[in-house]
Amino acid sequence: MTAAEIVNKLDLQVFSGENGLNRKVSGGYVSDLLSDVMGNADEGQVWITLQTHKNVMAIASLKELAAVILVNGNKPDEDTARQSNEEEIPLLGTSMSAFEITGKLYELIKK
């Protein structure tokens, strides 16, 4: 499954990083603690979080994540979106809570 398919099936907003929508998604990780994601997320995963600052993209890039989903209608900071474009890692959004979007994403990619 690609990030683009997840955007379509879960009706997500694409803030930036469109050039990375063909990235393959291997799973997901949910956390708002940056060191937790740094230590425990893995390449190709989608990161679900409420953090909107630029360091999110630094971590997404270092960990080679497939995409980031901001929950609860949160919008990225301007420099966060800019770095997502540079790194070509999609920055996505939903009005759903972390709980809801995680459940839906899990259903979608477990098959």
Partner 1 sequence: MGEKIADQYSVTGGDFSRAGYASSQIKKSLKKLGVDMAIIKRTVVATYEGEVNIVAHAWSGKIVFAVDDEKIRIVLEDEGPGIEDIEQAMEEGFSTATSEIREMGFGAGMGLPNMKKNADHLHVESEVGKGTRVEITMHLN
Q: What is the binding site for partner 1 (CB under 8 A)?
A: 32-36, 38-39, 43, 49, 51, 53-55, 58-59, 61-63, 79
Which residue lies nearer to partner 1 by CB, 11 or 79?
79
CB of 111 to partner 1, least distance (A): 28
Which residue lies nearer to partner 1 by CB, 7 or 81?
81
CB of 18 to partner 1, least distance (A): 22
Comparing CA positions, the residue from 33, 32, 13, 29 lying closest to residue 21 is 13
Size of the chain in residues? 111
Contact 84, 65 (CB under 8 A): no
CB of 14 to partner 1, least distance (A): 23
Please measure the distance between the N-terminal and C-terminal CA atoms of the chain and give it in whole angstroms: 10
Which residue lies nearer to partner 1 by CB, 7 or 63?
63
Dihedral sign, CA of 67, 72, 75, 77?
negative
Contact 74, 80 (CB under 8 A): no
CB of 56 to partner 1, least distance (A): 8
